[in-house]
A and B are shown apart, each in its own frame.
Chain A
Amino acid sequence: MHRFKTIVSISLRDYFHERLLSACAILGLAAVLAPLLVIFGVKSGIISTLTDRLVGDPRNLEITAVGSGQFSPEWFDRMSAKPGVDFLIPQTRSIAATMVLVDRGASLPATLPVDLIPTGKGDPLLEKYASVPEEVSAVVLSASAARKLQTEAGRTVVGKVGRSVQGQKEQVDIALTVSAVLPPEAFFRDAAFVDIALLEATEDYRDGFGSERFGWPGKPKPRSARSYPGFRMYSDTIDDVASLAAALNEQGVEVYTRAAEIEVVRSLDRSFTLIFRLIAVVAICGYFASMASNVLANVNRKSRHLGVVRLIGFSTRNIVWFPIVQAAATAVLGTAAAFLLYGATELVINVVFGQYLAEGEYVCRLAFRHYLAAFSLTLAMSVLASSFAGLRTAKIEPSKVIRDV
């Protein structure tokens, strides 16, 4: 143990004594590793930002039916229980799912026909951008609807639903509290998110029936199972979208998803990874060759001193560590230098491209495990590259070298 410690110690002393050459080796490593880290950081940063955007945008999780079908309440119960389904709510006939909103509080009363979108507890779109209204009489407006009505969260608007019964025009009003307004990126059309009960009542009213709940006149709706022409569905993760879409297709329901956009990011990730791997392999091979030849040249240059160390009585077992310890020192210091260079570059890249990014997004980013992997791999490569020189060192015969001046 004393002998091993002594070898490690004199190896490091030699490394320090030749600090100029050691610094060259360290910078040589940093020069290979830092650009690799930057490439990988950019790849990893862009891909994870794109993926986060995909995952973070509920619209990518949305599965929309194309055209209209006939979906029973049992179908909704069955589908809601399916793994991968996060949120599912029925949609009434689109032609009946409209309402005219009026904000009477505004200086110039504004009137706007809006689409009614059903919502309920767990709606990912509203949970991300606002909150689900708790009251039946509360409503969340899309940004364009709120702008055109010149209203804002907390105010009350009046919803008007009209019908024509035997040529006679009829209309009911309902006071609705604007509980929240969605940001522009959440929804494009003029729309109001309301409780499904209000949608059903609106549809029934248009069909000539009344609503006890809202006090709307009309004959009572006969008791029969309701059938819905559509639905709003969100999957748990972007990975579930394709399988849910396939399951619906099997039932003969044609759907629209953003699977194509998701696939674009996925294939971008695959291509980036492939390119990065190719670059990394070439760089690692180059580094390996340069490290191995550098260490070997050093051992040859120092063969007389190593011969003296052997003469003093260090065993082959001990002396193989002499070049390996130095290579490991280069790996540690070179990786540290590369991390510093990379860190500075990462900072610059993220500042320069910061304007295109939202809070918490990065163009260039490495996780802790990436640093750890870079360090372990470099250390392993360096030790491997120097082990041949180590064996060379062990083969030095003192009697052949100690008299060379």
Chain B
Amino acid sequence: MNKAPAAAFSGPKDGAPARESDPGGAPVFLTRNVRKVWPGETDFVLTIPELVARPAEKMALVGFSGCGKSTLLDLLALILRPDEAGCFMFHADPDPPLDVIGCWQDNDLNRLALTRMQRIGYVLQTGGLLPFLSVGDNIRLSRQALGLADDGYVEALAERLGIRPHLKKFPSQISVGERQRVAIARAMAHEPAVVMADEPTASLDPFNAERIMRLFTDLVEDRGVTLIVATHEWDRVRELGFRRVRFELDRETDRSVHSRVIG
């Protein structure tokens, strides 16, 4: 499978220049003093003293299993309710900044769902494709739900990711690597401002993992999309130019484990 040249990825909307990394622009995520507790035999407490994600930034949440990177990713993806938050703002043009903690407190889940649908893409570790939809329909799902016109963007995206021949197949008919590319295409099809990925290449062999990760980062760079990846591969993300966010784990008592995010 050849890596498609960047020029091949040129939907009609591609005429506009890609969003540039703008360190001075309003942050996509601005959080302060966020806390999430998983009660259990041993409580797990995740605290995020401060975390800022800027537009078009590539950020990696790096840590071993159980450090809370999936929890953090879910908090940022607006699908997990924080127990406490001093500040939790999400901002993606052209929407006004969204007070996420306010939405959770007001139980305005529909507002969060709509924001997720319009502005966020999510790549799961094992694809998370719907088995009853064809590859193409999986990719088009958010566009269809948002009523976005089919303007060739999806085909161009599929071309770039090398999955164009598979659009009519079902997820069960393609390989794990191809499924992961489809998951990336689905996360990006509705042109979101942020894409989150939870260990996107963990289920792939090193060769495929390397290739797909590079394709993924090239893609988000071209589109000026903010990328937040949860991973345990400290070195690889550095090579790809990610800003790394670490977790500091300490077992305070027998009853609880605390993890602190070092932004």
Chain A residues in the interface with B (C-beta under 8 A): 1-3, 6, 9-10, 13-14, 16-18, 304-305, 308-317, 397-399, 402-403, 405
Residue of A nearest to B183 (CB): A308
B79, A398: Cβ atoms closer than 8 Å: yes
Dominant secondary structure at the A interface: helix
A6, B109: Cβ atoms closer than 8 Å: no
A13, B120: Cβ atoms closer than 8 Å: no
The distance in angstroms between the C-alpha atoms of A397 and B122, with both chains bound, is: 15
Min Cβ gap B110→A in Å is: 4
Interface residues on B, range: 20 to 34
Residue of A nearest to B144 (CB): A6
Min Cβ gap B132→A in Å is: 3
B124, A402: Cβ atoms closer than 8 Å: yes
B116, A313: Cβ atoms closer than 8 Å: yes
Chain A residues with CB under 8 A of B80? 397, 399
Chain A residues with CB under 8 A of B198? 403
Q: Is B6 an interface residue (CB 8 A)?
A: no
Min Cβ gap B43→A in Å is: 17
Given the known inter-chain contacts A311-B77, A312-B117, A315-B113, please indicate yes or no for A2 contacting B146, CB distance below 8 A. yes
Chain B residues with CB under 8 A of A317? 110
The distance in angstroms between the C-alpha atoms of A398 and B74, with both chains bound, is: 9
Q: How many A-B residue pairs have CB under 8 A?
A: 81
A305, B130: Cβ atoms closer than 8 Å: yes
Given the known inter-chain contacts A13-B132, A403-B70, please indicate yes or no for A312 contacting B145, CB distance below 8 A. yes
* Choice from B120, B144, B147 contacting A313 with Cβ under 8 Å: B120
A3, B145: Cβ atoms closer than 8 Å: yes
Chain B residues with CB under 8 A of A399? 74, 79-80
The distance in angstroms between the C-alpha atoms of A16 and B132, with both chains bound, is: 8
* Choice from A17, A18, A314, A403 contacting B124 with Cβ under 8 Å: A403
Residue of B nearest to A304 (CB): B128
The distance in angstroms between the C-alpha atoms of A323 and B128, with both chains bound, is: 20
B131, A312: Cβ atoms closer than 8 Å: no
Residue of A nearest to B75 (CB): A399
Min Cβ gap A394→B in Å is: 9
Q: Which residues in chain B, 61-109, are within 8 Å of chain A measured between CB atoms? A: 70, 74, 77, 79-80, 109
